[in-house]
Structure 1
Amino acid sequence: MTTRRSISIAAWSLLLPVALWVTSLPDNTVSAENKKTVLEHADQIEGGEVASPSGAVTPYRSAVGNVKFLHGETILQCDRATDWPDSERIDLTGHIIIKDKTLETRGDRGVYHTGREAGELWGNFRGRVIDDSLTVKSARATFDQKKNELWLFDDAVAWQLGRQLSGDSIRVQVREIAGKKRVDEIQVFGHAFLAVRDTLSSSPALHDQLSGRQLTANLDENSRLKKVVAIKKARSLYHIYDDKNQPSGVNLTSGDRIRMFFVDGKLDRILTTGGALGKEYPNYMRNDPEINLPGFRLRDKEKPVFEQR
């Protein structure tokens, strides 16, 4: 039978719980890479020991109510947090916000690994790259602050500068450019789809489209598309214009691999290899939703809005 011994301390004085938490943590300042985890606020603190299924007694500490931790430059906020000192792990529950100078992530449940500076979040996951326009959502996600990498799983969607990417999973890679962290590459796996706003169309708004089992998008220093590659049952649909920028039709292409190249963020050319097939729709069909690629669905109403807590 699982047994539990605990203490509960009402946080009538904020200084008391902070001091208790910090002094009971191991000193991680030996290396410049190691950082202390400091509890800045909690309405209540609980602590004690829990008997594990093996019978071993495991110590724990929990902070409850308006919880806020500092771990180096990372801020962790939630309704409840349980720290397992022996495993460098903090379990988080309720209204979770994990934020550093690069990335802000939110979810219902999660784990933060203090040693690896990485974590997982489940339930209504939302995220954004702070110095970029990218916002994302999915059912669950993992992030690695040292690698500047974010993975989205289960119905993943990303929005950025007039474009939408979606798929079963999405990987976002960030790199530093002129002192700011910006998205460098986005990979989409499973039912991969890209919809890019056609800037020459007015009303209704039209979107160039690209789909495949896997998609890789590379971006420039201004977060504009440079190249996008779709592989395995790749399809593209893009709107054609004459030399006076007047609409002249819509092109549909399929193949094993489709590469889209962009100049200053605008579609410049397309290359298709492996069983290439093409079709051109007349201009009067450009607004017909029936010609959109299978799976095309704009999801702007689902785009997360980030408010300060």
Structure 2
Amino acid sequence: MNSKMITLPKDTEVKPRRRPQAPAGRRSSSLHGREARGAWILMSPYMVLLLVAGVIPIAYAFVIAFQTPPTPLNPEVSFGGLESFTTVVTDYRFLDTFANIFSVLVVWLPIMLVGIIGLALLIHASPGRFGSSMRFIYYIPGALAGVANFVLWVYLLNPAQSPIQGFWHALGFTTIKAVLVSPSNLPMILTAMLLFQGLGTWILVVNGGLNNIPDEVLEAAEIDGANAWHLAWHIKLPMIRAWIGYAALMNLAYGFQLFLEPYLLDQVASNALPDQWTPTQLGYAFAFSNYNFPAAAAMSIILLIITLGIGLLVVFRSGLFGKEEH
């Protein structure tokens, strides 16, 4: 079988055929579509958790809140309108619980934010081994959360065993019950407990935001003559405003949910403290002392509305979910 060899001229160049490329707009649309699908896949576990632990309980609370509480004479449940909300708002303890929680928030939240921002800026301005060591030291109290933190504070508040017992004796306190039942002491004690427990963790969070600031921005500011104070006030703080808003929002929500600390302190003080000192304690009393679950659900909805309103204000003022400008 003979095969003929075809010889091309020297000037002839064989170019491989290229596949036709999609327009730039179509490529961009496809890329964004893949990114959107990936984002939804990553968010799906959280969305399931949000649905189970957030949306469904809130919807159930709305259903219960508009019902009438069953009684021995009338065990049937029916639509009660705003009766549960009226029961909650007209309760003699309602305003007192919010006054109590605000007495803690008005002291604790400003100190918390100033401490978080100030110490995070100091750590960011101290790179190297010293900054790393301080991050670790600040985080140690955050590891003593929950029961460990409470036991530590019970030891500090007991004038008979506390290492600062001289301070308590100088103020005229000889028992832990006397320390806790003093009207002006409890807000300060709760402020100290919350500050000690959460400060270190949020310093690390805000410090992460500071580490996201491009070095080129800081170097350009230094070339223009900015000192450490100018960098902190005019460059770093505006660029971590969203992180500060996030810290304020989460701590504010935690403050309104305050329950465990005053409840356990009441046990330590031999039930000498009010059982309904915070709004969450009042909701607990409606449910398990008065057996009025619609009123408890109404109390939870009122707290939800208040925290959502304040949270939206913080979000819009801080630009928490705004787009980053490059």
Q: What range is the shorter-chain TM-score in?
A: under 0.3
The TM-score, its normalising length taken from structure 1, stands at 0.18
The TM-score, its normalising length taken from structure 2, stands at 0.17
Higher relative contact order (CA 8 A, sep 6+): 2
